[in-house]
Amino acid sequence: MHFTDGEIIISSMKPQDLKNLIQTGENQYLEFKKTTPSPAKIAREISAFTNSGGGTLLIGVDDDKTITGIRAFFEEEYLLRKAAEDLCVPAVNIKIELIHLIDKDVMAVTVPEAAKKPVYVKNKVKRRVYIRRSDESVLASDERVEILKHQSSGEGVTFQYGEHEQQLFPYLNEYGEITVKAFANLINQTTYQASKILIKLASAGVLTLFTRNEVDYYTFSGKIK
């Protein structure tokens, strides 16, 4: 793991700017932690941010926006580095800075967006991928993982406007969204085949995948309500 050799990087962020940021609340790109949890748990947050455009972790801030401060910088740094560099695959190059207030210190952890996605988290059984959904870090579905792979492959994704697409597009124009199961029934194919078609269209930017009530839906890009 890479450590700062006793060096603490002081953030240029002013205390008032930190307080203003905290008041915006947790969101897609911002997460509060009173203290750094286990490396396995914080690795999920890092994976989610790096797979979803990047973000910032504020350590020493409670969920209710109270600034509690950190107790031991180097202990927190160890857990964060272990999560980012040992448990995330590939390793994530996080930036850790200290924001000094009058009587408390807060750690700002910047998580960059991954150049190549997805970034996995090691697990005893199977490596897992996490993404940000609003203000939460959630386990990515298999379809979402495949889309991340396609979009990061560096190869252009093309598709043919064939028979199945000719059935899909009018359906989406009328109903707005579709699940893999519904699409499989529409085109009379297996869910595996239906999923492959939808993933390719989402990877090409034609469709967008979103989740509602733990169910994945596809819609035309730009049509999410």
**Residues spanned by the domain of 57:** 15-139
- For residue 10, tell me if it sits in a domain: no
Residue 171 has pLDDT above 70, yes or no: yes
Domain count, the chain: 2
**CB of 143 within 8 A of CB of 198?**
yes
- For residue 85, tell me if it sits in a domain: yes
pTM of this prediction exceeds 0.85: yes
Same domain, 125 and 27: yes
Q: Which residues contact 107 (CB under 8 A, 6 or more apart)?
A: 57, 58, 59, 60, 70, 73, 76, 77, 80, 96, 97, 98, 99
Question: In angstroms, how far is CA 221 from the centroid of its own chain?
Answer: 19
Same domain, 57 and 164: no
Same domain, 79 and 47: yes
Same domain, 22 and 129: yes
Task: Mark which of 139, 173, 195 sits at the end of a domain.
Answer: 139
Tens digit of each residue's pLDDT (9 = 90 or more) over 39-87: 999 999 999 999 999 999 999 999 999 999 999 999 999 999 999 999 9
**CB of 98 within 8 A of CB of 13?**
no
Strand blocks (E) in 126-175: 128-133, 136-139
CATH number of the domain at 116, please. 3.30.950.30
What is d(CA 160, CA 155) in angstroms, rounded to the nearest whole number? 16
- For residue 8, tell me if it sits in a domain: no
**CB of 49 within 8 A of CB of 110?**
no
Q: Which helix (H) or strand (E) holds 98?
A: strand 95-100
